[in-house]
A and B are shown apart, each in its own frame.
Chain A
């Protein structure tokens, strides 16, 4: 069966520091991968999606970037964090085929101070 992992679970970082969040998927190959952010009191916002290695699409202009160095690894990064980057970051993958059902990881809670 497929599982999706996110690391770390929680993170507290000062403004201006770098960021690296990791997402890995097991039990599937060539998934579409997604990064979402859920800010307090707001809905889920799609940040990036990837249909393959080194193929990244950005949905909104921001202080963040994404990379996919391996088929089942998706990384969210920043060179200098802003206060507004605080939020709950969720990684997801899609099952493909006819279903296209999307499954989510456990999330990373990021607090920028």
Chain B
């Protein structure tokens, strides 16, 4: 059974710091891995998608890496800003790509202080 774990559960940093969020999964047979952002009371916004054959993806100040063999992914946020405060969720697409079931971690709640 695929399980996804995110560490830490919460993180508070001063503005301007670079930070890393961690995600691990137990079964390496994934189709892809997605990082999402969720603001309080809102839906999920897709940040980055990494296919199982890729090692990293970048979008602006965000960089996500994937090491499928060790079951790990990291989300790197450069030069953090108060607007980055949100909950970050990672999810793996497990099983057949046709059914596309995402298995989510519990999330990391990030607070960036001005």
B105 touches A102 (CB 8 A): no
Specify the main secondary structure of chain B where it touches its partner. strand
A104 — which chain B residues lie within 8 A by C-beta?
36, 43-46
* Contact residues in B for A59 (Cβ distance below 8 Å): 101
Which 6 pairs show the lowest CB-CB distances between chains A and B? A104-B44, A44-B104, A104-B43, A106-B43, A94-B100, A107-B43
Residues of B within 8 A of A46 (CB): 101-102
Mask: chain A, 24-67; 1 = CB below 8 Å from B; 0 = not: 00000000101000000011101001010000010100000000
B52-83 CB contacts (< 8 Å) to partner A:
none
Contact B100 A49 (CB under 8 A): yes
- In the bound assembly, the distance between CA atoms of A109 and B106 in angstroms comes to 19
* Chain A residue nearest to B49 in the complex (CB): A101
Closest B residue to A106 by beta carbon equals B43
Name the residue on B nearest A96 (C-beta).
B100
> Chain A nearest CB: distance from B86 CB in Å?
14
User: Told that A49-B99, A90-B44, A104-B44 touch, could you supply 7 new A-B pairs with CB distance under 8 A?
Assistant: A6-B43, A43-B105, A43-B107, A44-B89, A92-B102, A102-B102, A107-B41
Shortest C-beta distance, B28 to chain A (Å), equals 17
Report A's interface with B, CB cutoff 8 A. 6, 32, 34, 42-44, 46, 49, 51, 57, 59, 88, 90, 92, 94, 98-107, 109
A101 touching B46, Cβ below 8 Å:
yes
Residue total for B at the interface (Cβ-Cβ under 8 A)? 25
Asked whether A109 lies within 8 Å of B100 as measured between CB atoms, the reply is no
B12 at interface, CB cutoff 8 A: no
| Contact assessment for B101 and A49 in the assembled complex, using a CB-CB cutoff below 8 Å | yes
Bound Cα distance A57, B93 (Å): 17
Residues of B within 8 A of A102 (CB): 34, 46, 91, 93, 100, 102
Say yes or no: B49 contacts A107, CB within 8 Å: no
- What residues of chain B lie closer than 8 Å to A105, measured between beta carbons? 43
**Which of B49, B91, B101, B107 has the most chain A CB atoms inside 10 A of its CB?**
B101
A98 contacts which chain B residues (CB < 8 A)?
51
Contact: B99 with A100, CB < 8 Å? no
